[in-house]
Amino acid sequence: MDKSSMRLTQIFINPKNDDAPSEIALSSAHPTTSKLRKKVPLATDTGLATSRHPGAVSPGGLLKTWPGSPWERYRKVLKWHDLGGDVLLAVSSKERVNIRVFSEQQAEKSLFWFRQIRHSSFVTALEAFTTNKLLYIVLEEMKITLSHVITCSKYPDRQELGAILGQILDGVVYLEKEGIEHALGWNNVLFNLSGEAKITNQECCQTATRESRSRTVSRIAHITMGLMNKDDKPVGVQRSQWLSCPEAIAFAAATTSARSATELLEHPFLTMYGREETDWDKGSLLGLISLADTEADREYHYEE
């Protein structure tokens, strides 16, 4: 089998028995306003994202939900413990994927948000499986976290910093416009080896409140300082390399006073650095991400 043609998929797993034949009864309504009411039919297409925000998936971007477990289609390889939670690496005859597993108590809320958030700045949910105890979400494979990038030996340069922050902010601005808040952090922003940065853990979303924008800006500040200083200390640029880039220092300062993620995305630093024509310069990240992948002290165990 040609390994280079395989695609990775992640699966989150719950340790409870997954052999039961029936599926979790799930509702497509918002989980905070409804109970588990109806069973998901044999391949339910659900496309709730109708936003016209750039990057939003059209209503044609649907999430199929199948009854039963995914193990007739995929084979477990290992379980990562450092990808924003436990994530299974699994393979089929054609691809590699990540699979996340949710308990019956987590299922409705989790499936709701994975269906609701269909945007290119978020890890793509490929399909879902349900048993009477568990929900499995099959995801595109991404195995490097922002934490791995921050803790690697290389500091990002200004172009790399802009490319990372710009990709993250695209997703956060989408949420902001949709009235959604995400518990953004170092461990739930993932990268692939092509330089794409995507937000994961969609189940960590909630309906935005009046305080959501200020909390989100604070999370962006924490990410920015992690990348610029390689630590989680309060805002304050400590490394001399940034003295030659006043725009980067100004952006870091703006994270202490900005009123929204939209304001940060429009900052001059991100109009000067991190872009390649009309998109973020993902190619500039290839070296940094490869080094982070090589140096990462991974937490995992093999699945039998």
Pairing assessment for the beta strands 75-80 and 63-67 based on DSSP bridges: unpaired
Q: Give the pLDDT confidence score for residue 61 in this predicted structure.
A: 52
Residues 6+ apart with CB under 8 A from 288: 149, 152, 154, 156, 160
Q: What is the pLDDT of residues 62-95, one digit of tens each?
A: 799 999 999 999 999 999 999 989 999 999 999 9
Topology alike, domains 3-140 and 145-295: no
Structural domain spans, the chain: 3-140, 145-295
Confidence of residue 27 (pLDDT cuts 50, 70, 90): low
Tell me the average pLDDT across 163-184: 98
pLDDT score of 133 more than 80: yes
Please tell me whether residue 137 adopts helix, strand or coil conformation.
Answer: strand
**Domain topology for 3-140:** Phosphorylase Kinase; domain 1 (3.30.200)
Q: What is the CA radius of gyration of the chain?
A: 19
pLDDT score of 117 more than 80: yes
Confidence of residue 16 (pLDDT cuts 50, 70, 90): very low
**Which pTM value belongs to this model?**
0.82
Q: In the chain, what percentage of residues exceed pLDDT 70?
A: 79
Polymer length of the chain: 304
Confidence of residue 161 (pLDDT cuts 50, 70, 90): very high
Q: What is the CATH number of domain 145-295?
A: 1.10.510.10
